[in-house]
Each structure stands twice: as structure tokens, then as C-alpha cells.
């Protein structure tokens, strides 16, 4: 009995000693892991703030893209810290990295369309083919840009409708930006009668634009005969104006030219067709079938 008691005491002491050693070892590991997590979290937050503020200092860098890139850096550093903490406890990190890679590949395949929109959104924010407040037309989508996001772009149509366009659609088509350039050219082609005075018509058109401050002096406005049509002589008025004044000025010009031509006897003829040959008056017009049945 004494031998068994001695063996139990010795085994207990050995277990306690081994447990104490493991407790000390794991306590150090746990403290180190917690310290590493705290430092990693602090550095990740600091890196996010520094990168965000640094990218905003770059002229023309979009705020949405800066926020996205700073968050990517922050989460990338946190993942690295998490893997390092697991390695401190003896976990094989190679398998974890492989599992993360496989999970990322599966998520990428499942969210292929979404990731395509994100990639297109990043390219739109970097290359900036349009900005907030500008009016664009892609052939199928047109409107004023309200917000450019990573997944989609918000637009407001000219008739006041809300439109949400995926970024991948906007990135894969030609874009016409009507607001990017500061000046625009306007051409007004008016057909006048062959019997009318061309010089007088051109003088009337020039008087309209010369008296308006919205018309730019350089390049100077001009008029010229564009073509000799079937029913009229096409006279063109060309001038440049600021992009913001393009639409109101163009509408004003069209109305003013029509009014000036009417007041000065310049005609704008309707399309006419002249038939050549003989006409037999004995031919009677064909009556509609409903009238013949009546």
C-alpha cells in the first residue's frame, strides 16, 4: 500500500510539474498572441488611416477608391497577423493559406459578375472618363452622374428618372461625355429658297450671334453655304459657346433665326418634288374601295 501511495504521489507531482510547465508555456504564448493581435489591430488601423489620407492628397484621386484601397490594406494586414498568431501555437499555416486560397478562388468564381463590376468600378475611378455632375451618353444609357460606386453608378435622366447602371456595362462601351470639355460647337443648318438673298440670310444669322455674350469670340462665328439641296439652299451658322450655355443658347438661336427670316422675307421652303413628262387629264383618280362599295 505504501508503494502504491508513493507511486501516486510521484505521478501527481510529475503531472503537476508538467501541467505547470505547459501552463507557463501556453500562458506566454497566449500573452504573446494577445499582444500580437493588439499590435496588429493597432497597426492595421493606423495603416488604413495613413493610406487613406495619403491617397486623398493625390490630386484627382477619388475618395471612394481611396477608402476601398485603404480597407484592402487593413484587412490584408489583419489576415497576416491572424496567420502569425496561429503559427505561434504550432498550427500548420501552410494548410490554412491553401484553404484561404481555395476559398478565395471559389468565392471569386461564385461572384464573377460582382467582381467584374468591382474591377470596372476601380478602372472608372482611376481613369475618370466621367465625374459626378457630368452628363454622359453610352448609346443605351444617358444621364447626369450622381454617384460612382464600386459596384454600380447612379445617374439621373433628363426627365428626372433614377437609373442604376452596373459598372461593367459602362466600362465596356464607348462613352460620350458632354460636360468634360469647357466649350462646344453648335451648327445650325437652315434651308432657304433658291430665290432668296443668301448674303442677307447670312447677315441676319451673324447679327443674332454677334449680339449675344454667350457666343465665344475665339474661334469666331461664321456662316457658309453647306449644300444645294433639292428644294433649298442650305446655309450653316457655326459658333462656339461654353458647355454650360450650349443648350439654352442653341434653342435661343433657332427661334431667333426663324423669327428674323420671317420678318425679312427669307423663306424656309418645304421639301418639293417636281414631276417631268405629260399628264393625261382623261385619267380619273381612283376612289377608295369603301366609297366604291357604297
pLDDT of 44:
82
- Residue 51 to residues 57, 64, 78, 153, 188: CA-CA distances in angstroms? 10, 13, 15, 25, 51
CATH assignment of 130-177, among 3.90.79.10, 3.10.20.30, 1.20.120.790, 2.30.30.60 = 2.30.30.60
pLDDT of 83:
75
On average, the pLDDT of the chain sits at 79
For the chain, which residues make up each domain, given as ranges? 2-110, 130-177, 183-263
Low-confidence stretches of the chain (pLDDT < 70) are 1-29, 60-62, 64-65, 88-100, 102-113, 272-294
Give the full edge-to-edge strand order of the sheet including 135-137. Answer: 162-166, 152-156, 142-148, 135-137, 176-177
Closest C-alpha among 123, 116, 125 to residue 168: 116
pLDDT of 6:
64
Q: Which fold has domain 183-263?
A: Alpha-Beta Plaits (3.30.70)
Q: Determine the 3-state secondary structure of 242 from DSSP.
A: strand
Residue 244 is classified by DSSP as G
pLDDT of 286:
47
pLDDT of 108:
61
Closest C-alpha among 145, 188, 178 to residue 164: 145
- The answer to whether residues 268 and 232 touch, using CB atoms and an 8 Å cutoff, is yes
CATH assignment of 2-110, among 3.90.550.10, 3.20.20.70, 1.10.287.1260, 3.40.50.970 = 1.10.287.1260
Q: Determine the 3-state secondary structure of 61 from DSSP.
A: coil
Residue 285: half-sphere exposure toward Cβ, Cα within 13 Å: 3
pLDDT of 209:
92
The reported pTM is 0.58
Amino acid at each position: 500500500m505504501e508503494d502504491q501511495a508513493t507511486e501516486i504521489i510521484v505521478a501527481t507531482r510529475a503531472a503537476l510539474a508538467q501541467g505547470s510547465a505547459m501552463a507557463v508555456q501556453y500562458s506566454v504564448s497566449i500573452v504573446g498572441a494577445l499582444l500580437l493581435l493588439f499590435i496588429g489591430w493597432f497597426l492595421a488601423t493606423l495603416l488604413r488611416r495613413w493610406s487613406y489620407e495619403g491617397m486623398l492628397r493625390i490630386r484627382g484621386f477619388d475618395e471612394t477608391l481611396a477608402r476601398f484601397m485603404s480597407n484592402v490594406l487593413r484587412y490584408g494586414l489583419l489576415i497576416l497577423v491572424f496567420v502569425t498568431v496561429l503559427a505561434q501555437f504550432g498550427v500548420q499555416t501552410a494548410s490554412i493559406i491553401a484553404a484561404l486560397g481555395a476559398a478565395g478562388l471559389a468565392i471569386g468564381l461564385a461572384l464573377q459578375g460582382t467582381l467584374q463590376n468591382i474591377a470596372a468600378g476601380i478602372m472608372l475611378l482611376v481613369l475618370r472618363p466621367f465625374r459626378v455632375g457630368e452628363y454622359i451618353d453610352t448609346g443605351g444609357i444617358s444621364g447626369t452622374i450622381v454617384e460612382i460606386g464600386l459596384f454600380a453608378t447612379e445617374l439621373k435622366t433628363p426627365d428626372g428618372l433614377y437609373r442604376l447602371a452596373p459598372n461593367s456595362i459602362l466600362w465596356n462601351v464607348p462613352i460620350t461625355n458632354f460636360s468634360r470639355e469647357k466649350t462646344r460647337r453648335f451648327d445650325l443648318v437652315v434651308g432657304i429658297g433658291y430665290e432668296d438673298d443668301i448674303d442677307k440670310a447670312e447677315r441676319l444669322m451673324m447679327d443674332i450671334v454677334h449680339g449675344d455674350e454667350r457666343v465665344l469670340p475665339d474661334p469666331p462665328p461664321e456662316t457658309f453655304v453647306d449644300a444645294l439641296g433639292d428644294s433649298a439652299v442650305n446655309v450653316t451658322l457655326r459658333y462656339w459657346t461654353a458647355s454650360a450655355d450650349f443648350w439654352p443658347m442653341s434653342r435661343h438661336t433657332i427661334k431667333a433665326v426663324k423669327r428674323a427670316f420671317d420678318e425679312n422675307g427669307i423663306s424656309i421652303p418645304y421639301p418639293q418634288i417636281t414631276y417631268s413628262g405629260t399628264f393625261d387629264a382623261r385619267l380619273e383618280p381612283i376612289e377608295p374601295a369603301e366609297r366604291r362599295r357604297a
